[in-house]
Amino acid sequence: MNLTISGHHLDVTPALREYVLTKLERITRHFDQVVDVNVLLTVEKNKEKERRQKAEVTLHVKGRDIFVEQSHEDLYAAIDQLMDKLDRQVVRHKDRVQDHHHESAKRQPEANP
């Protein structure tokens, strides 16, 4: 899995990087076929105060790209909410990909008395 964590108008500190990594472990625990993950953490200067911190994730899995974004006044809270959204989408994608058609039970040969 390729992981890219970048910041826009902010420095990605080791604490932020570690926080994102621990949150991403939950995603990879549910679905291990993740190819690529791009995380972008942003501080927007023009927005209203309560939505300035923004976190975005683009998750590339086999056959699909999943994009999620979340804004909050606290970057850690934005990351928490983002990972909750991403987790729901990954589980939904996994359910769609799984083969739900089971092979029918083979007929048992009848015992002749």
Compute the average pLDDT of residues 99-106. Answer: 60
Q: What percent of the chain has pLDDT over 90?
A: 49
**Cα distances (angstroms) measured from residue 61 to each of 16, 47, 50, 57, 101:** 24, 32, 32, 13, 22
Q: Which CATH number fits domain 2-95: 3.90.226.10, 3.40.640.10, 3.10.20.310, 3.30.160.100?
A: 3.30.160.100
Q: For 2-39, give the DSSP string.
A: EEEEEEESS---HHHHHHHHHHHHHHHHH---EEEEEE
Q: What is the pLDDT of residue 84?
A: 94
User: Per residue in 23-43, pLDDT tens?
Assistant: 999 888 878 788 899 999 999
User: Per residue in 44-82, pLDDT tens?
Assistant: 877 666 678 999 999 998 888 999 999 988 999 999 999
Helix (H, G, I), strand (E, B) or coil at 53: strand
In this predicted structure, the answer to whether residue 101 has a pLDDT above a threshold of 70 is no
What pTM was computed for the model? Answer: 0.79
In this predicted structure, the answer to whether residue 92 has a pLDDT above a threshold of 80 is yes
